[in-house]
Amino acid sequence: MLKYVRKKTIILDMILSALVLPSWKNLLFFVLFTLCFSLYIHHWSALTAEKKKLESYVKKITDRTQQSVFQLKTSLTLANQSKAASCSPEDINMLRDILANYPYVNDIGRISSADEVTCSVLWGVLSEPKKLPNKSIQDSSFQKSWTEVSGFFSANQQRSIFNIGHSFAVSSPTTFLDISRHSQKIGGVLYTPTEKKIHHLFDDITYQQAQSVITSPPKQHLWLPIPNNFLVSTSCPPHYEFCVTGIDTRIGIYDMNIIEWLKIIISGILAGVVLSFGVRLFKSNRRTLIYRLKYAIKTDEIYSLYQPKIHLKTGKIIGVEALARWDDKELGSVSPDVFIHCAEANQLITPLTKKLIVKNLKEIGSFLKNDPTFLLSINLSVQDLSDQSFLNFVDNHVKKNGINAEQIIFEVTERSAAENNVLKRATKHFLRKGYQISLDDFGTGFSNLSWLTTFEPNEIKIDKMFVQSIGTQTVSQIALNGIFQLVGNLNVALVFEGIESVEEARYVLQHSPNAIGQGWLYSKAIDVEALQHLLDTQPYMDVSFLESQK
């Protein structure tokens, strides 16, 4: 329950610290960024959709033109098969029958070799033949065709005249009437590919625009949402003498209405705010203890220093305690009291302990092998002991390094009654394998006394709180005297933590002649090289050592 609450508080802390408003500069930057980004994305997606629609518009005109060409050609072929005298009533009647079958043909009639219209279904027989313009287009589908025939039809009606043999046919102005564009500012042009003669203009395109787009197709930089850009799509079906080009002159963000602009602006601003908070959360998350600790464990940044344990009477270094150290780039040097606690609260402790044990065995292995009486103390958490595979892991590594199990002391601290059973079960397994067990921080735990009587640890470490009370006439000092009496007769090694002064060392020695001491009077936790030097010189064995510290 406590763990659960602790975990939740850490998460809450993270959220609260992230919710502190990001700086205005950052916010503005992210809002501008997401605004531009969402405009750009919208521009692109709109452009893709518009391109498809323009292509379908061009395709519809192309298909319709193909049908129209087919009807014009067929009607002319049939007209040329007439046996009746040209422009006779029978001839006109036959032409009328043909015309009735082809809706994209507006009129059909006869033409002389001098390109003069003599009669047609709609005009009847002309009293005077009417000359077509000299400028005609040659193409493979028809013999000739005329696109600019303004004198023949009323203005604004786009029609072309086509000729095969002695017949002509007029395209219908309604041929393309039902072909609709999908939005404003879209237009098309139907023209001949070789001579670039315009047959027909569709929707929003001027003659000049059509001319320029078919004579010199524009180089487009569509990825840039600049104004005056336009989409172009061209289709030139094989075996036909025509092409269709469609243009869309208002595209992407330039084709949006006010509602769409509002939507993009609001969503852009919202995304900017969310992103800015997100980045802040991410950054603060990266700076949190848990994040840094996970990273440090993964990258093997946590290491151990070794604090010597001294047999007080002789001053001999009888072993070392491995103490974890972490110097983080962002957080600086973090105390083990803090990060071990954090690792325990976040289920990171066992992976950390395993990594440290591997390092400890490697670094202290040679000291242990050189001196079979030398001891290595390793701190464990209750979580390590509840992990079923932990003992096997340790045992394999100890064997791999050729180290005696008896030279390894595991220090455990009892913190709650609930942990009592786990400790009991696990320590029994360790003891059976030959390892030593030390009860760390004696006097501060939950029920040290009951633990002591349940089974016997090899070592008891009296918490430094008691040693530091020496000479203070406090409750702790009285308790320390009680501890001397209580554990003095037990068959266990007694280690006194936190000896900082000669007086403390003397007092401990007076009351417990065989005591082992650990403290800054002798040495802080040091690296392997310094330890080697200490072991070589054994400075504490010299009786003058204590005198020199006064």
What does the binding site for ligand C2E look like in residue numbers (CB under 6 A)? 307, 322-324, 335-337, 340, 353, 356, 379-381, 411, 440-441, 464, 497-500, 518-520, 525
Least distance in angstroms from the C-beta of 417 to Mg ion? 20
Least distance in angstroms from the C-beta of 288 to ligand C2E? 20
Q: Name the binder of 381 from Mg ion, ligand C2E, none, CB < 5-8 A by kind.
A: ligand C2E
In the chain, the N- to C-terminal Cα span, in Å, equals 49
Q: Is 542 left (phi over 0), alpha (psi -120 to 50) or beta?
A: beta
Strands (E) across 28-143 are located at 105-111, 116-120, 124-131
Least distance in angstroms from the C-beta of 378 to ligand C2E? 7
According to CB under 5 A, which residues from 490 to 549 bind Mg ion? Answer: 497
DSSP percent split of the chain into helix, strand, coil, nearest 5: 45, 20, 35
Query: Which SS3 state, helix, strand or coil, does residue 243 take?
Result: strand
Q: Name the binder of 255 from ligand C2E, Mg ion, none, CB < 5-8 A by kind.
A: none
DSSP of 371-431, one letter per residue?
A: -TT-EEEEE--HHHHH-TTHHHHHHHHHHHTT--GGGEEEEE----GGGHHHHHHHHHHHH
Q: Are 499 and 462 in contact (CB under 8 A)?
A: no
Pairwise CA distance, residues 167 & 296, whole Å: 93
Q: Name the binder of 360 from ligand C2E, Mg ion, none, CB < 5-8 A by kind.
A: none
According to CB under 5 A, which residues from 61 to 90 bind Mg ion? Answer: none
Q: Name the binder of 427 from Mg ion, ligand C2E, none, CB < 5-8 A by kind.
A: none
Query: Which of 395, 389, 385 is CA-nearest to residue 344?
Result: 385
For ligand C2E, the closer of residues 146 and 339 by Cβ is 339
Q: Name the binder of 500 from ligand C2E, Mg ion, none, CB < 5-8 A by kind.
A: ligand C2E
Question: Which element (helix H / strand E) includes 495?
Answer: strand 493-496
* 411 binds Mg ion, rule: CB under 5 A: yes
Least distance in angstroms from the C-beta of 431 to ligand C2E? 19
Least distance in angstroms from the C-beta of 23 to ligand C2E? 37
Least distance in angstroms from the C-beta of 364 to ligand C2E? 13
Residues 68, 70, 71, 73: what is their CA dihedral angle, to the nearest 10 degrees? Answer: 120
Least distance in angstroms from the C-beta of 351 to ligand C2E? 12
Q: Are 159 and 153 in contact (CB under 8 A)?
A: yes
DSSP state of 333: E
Least distance in angstroms from the C-beta of 425 to Mg ion? 21
DSSP state of 166: T
Query: Which of 86, 109, 85, 83 is CA-nearest to residue 96?
Result: 109
* Helices 475-488 & 502-511 angle (0-180, nearest 10): 40
Residue 367 identity (one-letter amino acid): F
* Helices 528-537 & 349-370 angle (0-180, nearest 10): 30
For Mg ion, the closer of residues 249 and 379 by Cβ is 379
The residue nearest ligand C2E at its CB is: 519
Least distance in angstroms from the C-beta of 321 to Mg ion? 6
Q: Name the binder of 394 from Mg ion, ligand C2E, none, CB < 5-8 A by kind.
A: none
According to CB under 5 A, which residues from 1 to 30 bind Mg ion? Answer: none
Residue 260: both structure tokens together: 């769409």
* 248 binds Mg ion, rule: CB under 5 A: no
- Dihedral angle sign, alpha carbons of residues 292, 298, 299, 302: positive
Q: How many Cβ atoms are within 10 Å of 1's Cβ, its own excluded?
A: 5
For ligand C2E, the closer of residues 91 and 504 by Cβ is 504
| Residues 290-329, mask of contacts with Mg ion (x by CB under 5 A) | ----------------------------------------
Pairwise CA distance, residues 491 & 500, whole Å: 26
| Residues 359-388, mask of contacts with Mg ion (x by CB under 5 A) | --------------------x---------
DSSP state of 141: S
Residues that bind Mg ion (rule: CB under 5 A) add up to a total of 5
Least distance in angstroms from the C-beta of 404 to ligand C2E? 21
For ligand C2E, the closer of residues 175 and 379 by Cβ is 379
Q: Name the binder of 337 from Mg ion, ligand C2E, none, CB < 5-8 A by kind.
A: ligand C2E
Q: Name the binder of 323 from Mg ion, ligand C2E, none, CB < 5-8 A by kind.
A: ligand C2E
User: Maximum Cα–Cα distance for the chain, whole Å?
Assistant: 148
DSSP of 508-519, one letter per residue?
A: HHHH-TT-EE-S
Residue 414: both structure tokens together: 């009892």
For ligand C2E, the closer of residues 301 and 500 by Cβ is 500
For Mg ion, the closer of residues 323 and 502 by Cβ is 323
Least distance in angstroms from the C-beta of 366 to Mg ion? 23
Least distance in angstroms from the C-beta of 465 to ligand C2E? 10
Q: Name the binder of 340 from ligand C2E, Mg ion, none, CB < 5-8 A by kind.
A: ligand C2E
Residue 24: both structure tokens together: 């205005």
For ligand C2E, the closer of residues 188 and 519 by Cβ is 519
Alpha helix positions (H), 455-501: 464-467, 475-488
* 459 binds Mg ion, rule: CB under 5 A: no
Q: Name the binder of 380 from Mg ion, ligand C2E, none, CB < 5-8 A by kind.
A: ligand C2E
Q: Are 199 and 208 in contact (CB under 8 A)?
A: no
Q: Name the binder of 336 from ligand C2E, Mg ion, none, CB < 5-8 A by kind.
A: ligand C2E
Least distance in angstroms from the C-beta of 21 to Mg ion? 44
According to CB under 5 A, which residues from 415 to 444 bind Mg ion? Answer: 440-441
Query: Which residues make up the interface to Mg ion (CB under 5 A)?
Result: 379, 411, 440-441, 497
